[in-house]
Amino acid sequence: MKTIEGVILLKSLNKWGFLFLLLSTLLLLSACGNKEDTLESRATVVEVFTVEETLQESSREFSSTLQPIEEVAVAFEVPGRIVDLAVKEGERVFAGQVLARLDSTDYSLDLTAAAAQRRQQEANLEQIETGATEYELNQSAAMLAKAKANYEKSQADYERFEMLLENGAISLNEYENSRLRFLSAKKDYEIAEQSHQNMVTGARREVREMNQAMLEQTIAREERARSALDKTQLRAPFTGTVINRLTSEGQLVNAGTPVYNIGAIDELKVVIPVPDREIQQWQVGEKVTLNLYGQQREGTVRYIYPATDRAAGTIGVEVWVANGEHNWFAGQVVKVSKKLEAYEAIWVPVSAVVRRGDEPYVFILEDNRAVKRVVTIGDLINDHFAITSGLNRGEQVIITAVDRLFDGDEVTPLGQAGDVE
């Protein structure tokens, strides 16, 4: 009985021992597998690309507002009441075209009065230049003869009274009266003689010059009146488009009050604020690209302003762009881009360069390990550094996770990123 129980007990122990042995083996195999997985998981997954010499172009972009090439607020030069506004906003107008009119009644009357005054002064001057008529000459000659006869009679009386005074035949008072009559007759005769001479030979030079000056004044007055009348019509100063109408018919306006804004919009312009340190990279006549809501046009640099904006440290660069269909509008904001420089070099993305310490470095992929390589960096263009030394064509540079890598770390390349574009 005991023997049978012992056999049963031995079988049971062998069964459990087998199970224990099997379980231990499985646990050992599992532990080995986990160890291998842990070792493999330590390798960092990275992206790499193959180094080549490529071309990088730097560009500069600005935002600016479209403006007409030429814009002016047109206004009357004389005051008055507007009786006609001939054009509307958006209409194309031509140089010299009448845009609006003022009530010209008062200006027409002023011109009529000035013209009449001018004609009157011309007649006066003509009379002076022509001289006296025959009747006037005869009248003057008769008056001269009468004055001469009176003078000669008074002279004879005066000489006779002088002899009588010496003989004591007359009083001193009678003599003095005779002398005064003589002097008066002499003066009258001289005046009559000069007047007759003037009538025969014409007016004196100073009289003619004075009347000529008066005529010139009346002519100038007439021209001013004619000019003022002409200014009651407002004309377009150049060919363009009416951008705004700023008043209405019936409005009383002063000289200089804007009536229309007119702009030349067959071409538009933008003024770009370029930093003064970059102005040498801009040249008159070069081409740039303008972008408006996805539409691109080529513009031309027309002017580089001669002075710096001291507050902003910029210099204005004026760019013109064609707008023949008038489908770009003044006031819209466009982006202006210009290529500044382009050259070939070994370029790596900024993300590949580690700048801890004194010398920048990158990681090269060698046998699935990250190998640290000190490099010399140059220009930064389009988020890429130019590598001037330290890298060779064909080498593979790690471009991700570099901040977590150390020299010699195992890595797993995700794939080749290819050449830098």
Nearest to 393 by CA among 352, 346, 354: 346
In the prediction, which pLDDT does 170 show?
84
Residue type, 273: P
Four-point Cα dihedral 23, 27, 28, 33, nearest 10: 140
pLDDT at 108 over 90: yes
pLDDT at 20 over 60: no
Nearest to 282 by CA among 337, 331, 321, 329: 337
In percent, the amount of the chain with pLDDT more than 90 equals: 45
In the prediction, which pLDDT does 416 show?
44
Provide mean pLDDT across the span 235-253. Answer: 93
Give the phi and the psi of residue 81 in degrees, each rounded to 5.
Answer: -105, 130
- First-to-last alpha carbon distance for the chain, in angstroms, is 91
Gap between the Cα atoms of 387 and 53, Å rounded: 10
Domain boundaries in the chain?
45-58+344-416, 63-69+264-332, 70-95+232-259, 109-226
Q: Which residues contact 119 (CB under 8 A, 6 or more apart)?
A: none
In the prediction, which pLDDT does 14 show?
53
**What would the pLDDT profile of 262-292 be if each residue is shown by its tens digit?**
999 999 999 999 999 889 889 999 999 999 9
Q: Residue 200 — very low, low, confident or very high, per pLDDT cuts 50/70/90?
A: low
Asked if domains 63-69+264-332 and 70-95+232-259 share a fold, the reply is: no
**What would the pLDDT profile of 383-400 be if each residue is shown by its tens digit?**
888 888 989 888 999 999
Nearest to 55 by CA among 294, 272, 396, 379: 379
pLDDT at 39 over 90: no
pLDDT at 382 over 80: no
Total Cβ atoms within 10 A of residue 217: 13
Tell which CATH architecture fits domain 45-58+344-416: Beta Barrel (2.40)
In the prediction, which pLDDT does 250 show?
92
In the prediction, which pLDDT does 267 show?
94
**What would the pLDDT profile of 356-365 be if each residue is shown by its tens digit?**
878 899 999 9
In the prediction, which pLDDT does 172 show?
83
Top-confidence residue, 201 or 222? 222
CA 185 to chain centre: 83
In percent, the amount of the chain with pLDDT more than 70 equals: 84
CATH (one of 1.10.10.10, 3.30.300.30, 3.40.50.300, 2.40.30.170) for 63-69+264-332: 2.40.30.170
Pair type for strands 376-381 and 80-85: unpaired
CATH number for the region 70-95+232-259 comes to 2.40.50.100
Gap between the Cα atoms of 68 and 200, Å rounded: 71
**What would the pLDDT profile of 131-179 be if each residue is shown by its tens digit?**
667 777 788 788 889 989 998 998 998 888 888 888 888 888 888 888 8
Top-confidence residue, 38 or 394? 394
Provide mean pLDDT across the span 289-306. Answer: 95
User: In the numeric block, which tokens belong to residue 303?
Assistant: 């002017």
In the prediction, which pLDDT does 167 show?
85
Three-class secondary structure of residue 134 per DSSP: helix
Write down the CATH superfamily of domain 109-226.
Helix hairpin bin (1.10.287.470)
Most confident listed range (31-40, 287-296, 405-414): 287-296
Which range (7-11, 211-215, 267-271) has the least confidence? 7-11
Place of tokens 């200089």: 256
Three-class secondary structure of residue 384 per DSSP: strand
